[in-house]
């Protein structure tokens, strides 16, 4: 089942950043467009609604180890040809590529912004190609076929297309069970499990709108207001703001 843009459950995420000007310049180079804000805030979009909101916190503390927060946020492109075009531009312009993977359900490129926030840029494979061995969706990790992506690529473009959206969030959490229960209460279901350290949840049968992991250690401390990084993200299906078990704001709009 395809999910239309109006039904997509995720809106935008908010990052607290120490240098707003540098972060805005980076994300404009990366492919987003500043769509509003002021001296302390910036909304970054792909031609439509914001995907990313930046809030200046020049005296913010660096995120300590063993804390909950952002693992990465993921920008979903509408087709693999556009992902191929972005790969070509990433190579030509030397965007800060940190990794890549074929996840069977999608193909992904990974980056870090100047303040160390993780970014995934990906395109889905058709749902007809998704496999469910043992009743769980098969989300794996294999080397990405760079040559094929470049071969089928659209011409590179400086900006993401208007069909681009926030595809999923991937979080470091303190406890998988309590985090899973909190998001299941919002209507999500577990789609896949990666050993004892990672789970993937979604609405509407999507491969995942949310990844959770304990790679910062079980019992990681909650997100603190004065620490740089992720503040929260939008879930359009909420009627009121909530806080998840890791101290992250979940809101109908930020």
The per-residue pLDDT for 39 is: 94
The per-residue pLDDT for 47 is: 86
Helix, strand, coil shares of the chain as percentages rounded to 5?
Answer: 20, 35, 45
Phi-psi region of 2 (alpha: psi -120 to 50; beta: other; left: phi over 0): beta
By DSSP bridging, strand 249-251 and strand 242-243 are antiparallel
CB neighbours of residue 93 within 10 Å: 11
201, 189 Cβ separation under 8 angstroms:
yes
Q: Could you tell me the domains of the chain?
A: 5-251 (3.10.180.10)
122, 109 Cβ separation under 8 angstroms:
yes
In this structure, what are the phi and psi dihedrals at residue 142, rounded to the nearest 5 degrees?
-130, 165
235, 210 Cβ separation under 8 angstroms:
no
pTM of the predicted model, to two decimals?
0.96
Cα(44)–Cα(181) distance, rounded to whole angstroms?
31
The per-residue pLDDT for 242 is: 97
The per-residue pLDDT for 1 is: 40
226, 233 Cβ separation under 8 angstroms:
no
83, 150 Cβ separation under 8 angstroms:
no
- Averages of pLDDT over runs of 10 residues in the chain (254 residues) are 68 98 98 95 94 98 98 98 98 97 98 98 98 95 97 95 97 98 98 96 98 98 97 97 98 90
Beta bridge partners of 79: none
CB neighbours of residue 108 within 10 Å: 20
Q: What Rg, from alpha-carbon coordinates, does the chain have?
A: 17
């Amino acid at each position: 089942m395809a999910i239309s843009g109006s039904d997509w459950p995720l809106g935008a995420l908010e990052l607290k950043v120490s240098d707003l000007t540098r972060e805005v310049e980076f994300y404009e180079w990366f492919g987003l467009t500043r769509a509003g804000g002021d001296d302390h805030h910036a909304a970054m979009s792909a031609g439509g609604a914001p995907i990313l909101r930046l809030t200046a916190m020049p005296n913010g503390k660096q995120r300590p180890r063993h804390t909950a927060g952002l693992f990465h946020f993921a920008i979903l492109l509408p087709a693999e040809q556009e992902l191929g075009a972005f790969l070509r531009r990433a190579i030509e312009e030397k965007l800060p590529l940190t990794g890549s993977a074929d996840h069977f359900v999608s193909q992904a490129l990974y980056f870090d912004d100047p303040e160390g926030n993780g970014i995934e840029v990906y395109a889905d494979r058709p749902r007809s190609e998704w496999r469910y061995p043992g009743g769980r969706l098969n989300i794996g990790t294999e080397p990405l076929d760079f040559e094929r992506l470049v071969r089928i690529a659209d011409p590179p473009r400086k900006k993401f297309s208007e069909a681009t959206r926030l595809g999923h969030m991937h979080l470091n959490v303190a406890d998988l069970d309590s985090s899973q229960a909190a998001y299941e209460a919002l209507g999500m279901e577990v789609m896949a499990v990666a050993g004892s350290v990672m789970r993937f949840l979604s609405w509407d049968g999507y491969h995942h709108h949310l990844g959770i992991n304990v790679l910062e250690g079980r019992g990681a401390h909650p997100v603190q207001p004065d620490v740089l990084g992720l503040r929260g993200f939008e879930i359009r299906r909420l009627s009121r703001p909530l806080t998840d078990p890791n101290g992250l704001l979940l809101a109908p709009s930020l």
